[in-house]
Amino acid sequence: MKSGWISWQLPKSLICERIQDMKEFYETYKVYLTRKNLEIVALIVMILSVLMVFLSAIPGQGALTLDKGSIRYNGTLVRGKMNGKGTVTFKNGDTYTGNFVNGSFSGYGKFKAKDGWTYEGYFVNGQPEGKGTLTTEANVVYKGTFKQGIYQNAH
């Protein structure tokens, strides 16, 4: 025996019992175990597998709790990820309402910080990107283009 390998044996009576069970099963159902029937069963299993893949990709409404409860999401889920429209609420009170793609802010949305500032506009991969409006807690408004979260210019 090689070192590191575990060797075990079933009792001979148990092996004989299982072989006998298999023989009885075969004798009972051999009329149904034709090639044609087995092909039909295999086809049904394949079709069900494909359906499960497609059905799991259908968007549905749901809720997620992430990072031990510090992030809560309500909205559209696809394959267990935030996809489509929804709202995420962070433990510190910040919220984002808008579009999500694969779990990130993407598309049009509004981010409201607990501190009082807001950004409303377009996001790409979780950052302001494109046209948007940033309103500070002092009510100063920056309306224009953002690139990777940084204000670029006025309208």
- Residues 87-111 have pLDDT tens digits of 999 999 999 999 999 999 999 999 9
- Residues 38-73 have pLDDT tens digits of 899 999 999 999 988 877 777 788 888 988 989 999
Q: Which two tokens stand for residue 51?
A: 């359906």
- Residues 115-127 have pLDDT tens digits of 999 999 999 999 9
For residue 61, what are the contacts with CB-CB under 8 A and spacing of at least 6?
Answer: 75, 76, 77
For residues 118 and 110, the answer to whether their CB atoms sit within 8 Å is: yes
**All domains of the chain, ordered by start, with CATH?**
12-56 (no CATH), 60-154 (2.20.110.10)
